[in-house]
Amino acid sequence: MTRESLRFIHAANLLLDGPLYVAQELSDEQRTLVEDATFHAFDRVLTSCIDSEVDFLLLGGNSFIEQEHSLRARLVLGEGFRRLEKAGIPVFIIPGTADPDSAWRKFPRLPGNVTICSNPVAEPVAVMRNRQVIAMIGTGTQDPEADPNGISGTRASSTAADRPLSIITADVAAAAFETAQAQSDSSETTVPESDNDAIDSSESRPDAIERIVTTRVQENGADYVAVIGIEGELTIRHDQCVAHSPGRIQGSSRDDPGVHGCSLIEVDQSGSIRIRRIPTASVGWRAFALDISEFADEDDVVRDMVVECSAGGPGSERLMLIRWTFTGAASALGRFADDAAARELLITKFQSLRLAEKTVSAAHSFRFLPRFHADLDREPLAAEFLDLLHDELPVSESRLSELLAGPHGPNEIWRKRLETMAPKLDRGIIAATAQQMALHWFVDEESEGSAQ
C-alpha cells in the first residue's frame, strides 16, 4: 500500500479585526486598508485554499481575539468557512490563547465542514478523502515500545509510506508556562505571565522554542507538527518530521516587518513534505536607512531612496508603510529634519520614479539621527560625556530597572510608567538627542566662555 499524496494549507494567528499600529499619517483610503487588513489577508488564505485545491485547511490558533468580542470577526470567519464548504474543503481548528476552546464552542452556527480540535488534541481526528483516511490530527507515530530517546517516525507495524499522515501540535506558550509553573512550585518564585518570561534567561528564545518542539516530537513522534503559541514563522526538520509555524497572515506594526502569509504543505507518496509560502498581508512595513552626504542634493537623496527601496521582490501588499532613517552630519540632515515641505518634495520625487509600484499605495515617515562627534570631540568634557553614552547605550531592560530603582530614580508611580514605556522608545533618537544636548551643554557654553 502506498500513502496518498495530499496538500493542505496551514494558517495561524489570523487575529481577525485585531488592531494595526501605524505611525504614519494616512489618507481615508489608506486608513480603510489598515482597518480591513486582517480580513483581506484571510480572504487570500481562502482563495489560496480553493485555487490550490487543497484537501483541508488547518487553522493553528489565535484566529480571533475573544476578549475583543468582535462580531465582525465571527461573521467573516463564518462566511469564509461556508465558502470553503461550497468548495468541498474541510476546516480543522486548533484553539489558541486568544481564541480558547470555550470561545469556539459558543461560536454561532458553524457549518458542517468545520471540526474543532481540542488543544492539546484529546482524541485523534481523522481527515477523510473519498472515504479514506489521509491524515490523523492528534496522534503520534511513536510506538510505546519503541526507543524513547529516538524519533523513528514509524509505528512498529507500519512504515511512513503506508499509513495516513500523522499531525500533532506543539504549544510553545503552554509548554513554557508549564515549565515556569514547575520551577515556581520548587523555588516559590512568581509564575511569569507570558511564555517570553517563562524561558530561562540563560537560554535564547529560538533555542527554547526548538527545545520545546523537539521534546514534543520525541515524546510522540509525528510526520508534521503544527507549532502554535508563537507569532513568527518557524520550520524545524528532525529526521523525517517537519515542525512548522506559518507565522501571522498580517503584520501588526513596524516591529513586525517582513513577508507574512500562510503555508501550502504538500506531501508526496513517499511521505516527503514540502512547504511553500503564500504571501497574504495587504499592509506591510519596510524600514530603510540612508547615510546623507553633506554634498548631496535632493535628487541625489531621491535616487538613493529608489535604489534602497528596490531591493526585494514584490509581495501581496496594497499599502506599504515606509520608515526612512537618515544619518549624517547635523548640517546635512537639518534641511530635511526642519522642513516639512522639503520632506514632501522628497516623497513626491520618489513616487514619480517608482512607476512600477503605482498599484501599491505608500505612506512615509522619517527618522533623523544626526552625528555631532566632530564638534563634541573638540572639548574634553563633551568627549568624556560621549564615552559615557557609548558605554551605556543601548540600555538593557535589567540596567534600566537598576537605574530607575536607584537613589536618583523617580517615585514608584513614575518608575512603573517608565518601565512600561521603555520597550516602545526609539533608542536611536534618544542617543542622537543626548548628543545634541551635549553639544548645547559643553560645546556652546565653552565656546561662549572662550569668547568672553
pLDDT for the residue 120:
65
pLDDT in tens, 406-427: 888 888 888 888 777 776 677 7
pLDDT for the residue 314:
61
Give the residue from 378, 383, 372 showing the smallest Cα distance to 435.
372
pLDDT in tens, 372-403: 665 555 667 777 777 777 676 666 667 777 77
Q: Which residue has the higher pLDDT, 159 or 265?
A: 265
Average pLDDT on 129-146 reads 73
Q: How far apart are CA 439 and CA 437, in angstroms?
A: 5
pLDDT in tens, 263-319: 999 999 988 999 999 999 999 999 899 999 888 888 999 999 988 887 666 678 999
Q: What percent of the chain has pLDDT over 70?
A: 77
Q: How far apart are CA 9 and CA 126, in angstroms?
A: 16
At 227, the amino acid letter reads V
Q: Is the pLDDT of residue 322 over 80?
A: yes
pLDDT for the residue 146:
38
pLDDT in tens, 208-234: 888 888 888 777 778 999 999 888 899
Q: Is the pLDDT of residue 91 over 60?
A: yes
pLDDT in tens, 179-199: 544 555 555 444 444 444 444
Residue 427 vs residues 24, 68, 166, 424: alpha-carbon distances, Å: 19, 32, 46, 9
pLDDT-derived band of residue 357, with 50, 70 and 90 as boundaries?
A: low
Q: Is 80 exposed, middle or buried (0-12, 13-18, 19+ CB in 10 A)?
A: buried
Q: How far apart are CA 231 and CA 318, in angstroms?
A: 22
C-alpha cell, 129: 478523502
pLDDT for the residue 194:
40
Q: Which residue has the higher pLDDT, 436 or 284?
A: 284
Average pLDDT on 429-443 reads 73
What pTM value is reported for the model?
A: 0.77
Tell me the domain boundaries of the chain: 6-279, 282-370, 372-452
C-alpha cell, 80: 469564509
pLDDT for the residue 144:
44
Mention the CATH class of domain 6-279.
alpha beta
| Lowest pLDDT segment from 120-124, 169-173, 235-239 | 120-124
385 CB-side CA count, 13 A: 22
Average pLDDT on 75-97 reads 96
C-alpha cell, 55: 484537501
Q: How far apart are CA 7 and CA 277, in angstroms?
A: 13
pLDDT for the residue 224:
94
pLDDT for the residue 437:
75
pLDDT in tens, 39-83: 999 999 999 999 999 999 999 999 999 999 999 999 999 999 999
Q: How far apart are CA 326 and CA 21, in angstroms?
A: 22
- Averaged confidence pLDDT in the chain: 81
pLDDT-derived band of residue 206, with 50, 70 and 90 as boundaries?
A: confident
